[in-house]
Amino acid sequence: MQSDNSSLLKTLVLIVPEEGRGLYPLIRNRPQPLVPFGGEFRIIDFTLRNCWNSGFRKVFVLLDYQARIVARHLDSLEWGEDLVCVYPDPCRRYSGTADALFQNLALLRLEVPAYVLVLLTAHIYEMDYAKLLQFHLDHQGEVTIATCGGADIGVYLFNVPVFRKMLLADALAKGNRDLERSVVCRTADERNIRNYDITSDRSAAFSYWGSVGTVDSYYGTQLNFCEQRHNPIGVVSPFVEIAPTARVRNSILLPGVRIGDKTQIRKAIIEEEVRIPDGTIIGFHAEEDRRHFFVSKGGVVVVDRACASRLEGKARNLVVTYARGA
């Protein structure tokens, strides 16, 4: 069966942003979809760009945490009225991505689709979703799960009947309320689930840089994404200022960061608009770093605004001490 424009029009596209707890403290003051990535993007921008490049013009984004902030970002993209923000019931937050889909089942009555494409936001990749739809039609499954080398990347295509059945069954079950393969397999016959491994489709243009589910994976995926730039510093976002005497290696500097004189930084993520005082050393002494900053299991040091305020206070105290000693 050939996929055509009518198949695209019969597909309801739902982006379900992740809560992103594993990205703390990067989500302390912002929702997961708006965490900066790759210098000039936000995490959700990649999923949206994939939709546009795949020919999907009408997309629903199921908002939850800090919904209005995400909506402002989406409005700034100039997509138009077909990028639809769906707000949650103010009296009930979503308990997971599957619950977000369940609470918005009314969209099936509104749009009357034949297929539902569900897109989560915990992976960074470039993909043509129209190829996935073609695969789904050709192999006549009820559910098609996109994978990269066998790993689930949070892309699911459903026939509407099994989509509705899955969510109703999950709503009655206790346990995990996030959409993942185990939730799908509870309701769909395994014989009718197809795996679309994008790495085996030679006709598809595809790039996969990694997961952004934790601080460590976010750090590694960013470096993978920006590897072609061959910058020893790492990832340097717009409006970053680095003093000539500073030394920064294998780090991610988010927009607006300022690095002071004689500063040494390695394997770190410096938050937006953070100023690192002169002479600061980050990433060289694990115990010292843990006293002042968040340090991930993989040893990535995250310096957010709260940490930066303490750094500036420490620097001012040093100046006062030196002045008194003089």
Chain segment 200-249, per-residue pLDDT in tens: 766 666 889 999 999 999 999 999 998 756 789 999 999 999 999 999 99
289-304 in b/e form (b: 16+ CB < 10 A) is beeebbbbeeebbbbb
pLDDT band (50, 70, 90) for residue 176? low
Domains in the chain (CATH in brackets) are 5-216 (3.90.550.10), 231-325 (2.160.10.10)
Q: Which of 3-7, 122-126, 162-166 has the lowest mean pLDDT?
A: 3-7
Q: How far is CA 249 from the centre of its chain?
A: 24
Q: Helical H runs in 23-64?
A: 43-53
Type of residue found at 8: L
pLDDT band (50, 70, 90) for residue 99? confident
What's the DSSP call for residue 136? Answer: H
pLDDT band (50, 70, 90) for residue 319? very low
What's the DSSP call for residue 87? Answer: P
Q: What is the pLDDT of residue 317?
A: 46
Is the Cβ–Cβ distance between 33 and 57 less than 8 Å?
no
Tokens of residue 101, six digits? 């889909």
pLDDT band (50, 70, 90) for residue 116? very high
Rounded distance between C-alpha atoms, residue 246 and residue 318, angstroms:
19
**Mean pLDDT over each residue of the chain, to the nearest integer:** 88
Q: Where are the beta strands (DSSP E) in 50-142?
A: 59-62, 83-86, 115-120, 123-126
Q: What is the pLDDT of residue 150?
A: 83
- Cα dihedral 193, 198, 200, 201 sign: positive
Q: What is the pLDDT of residue 321?
A: 34
Q: What is the pLDDT of residue 4?
A: 61
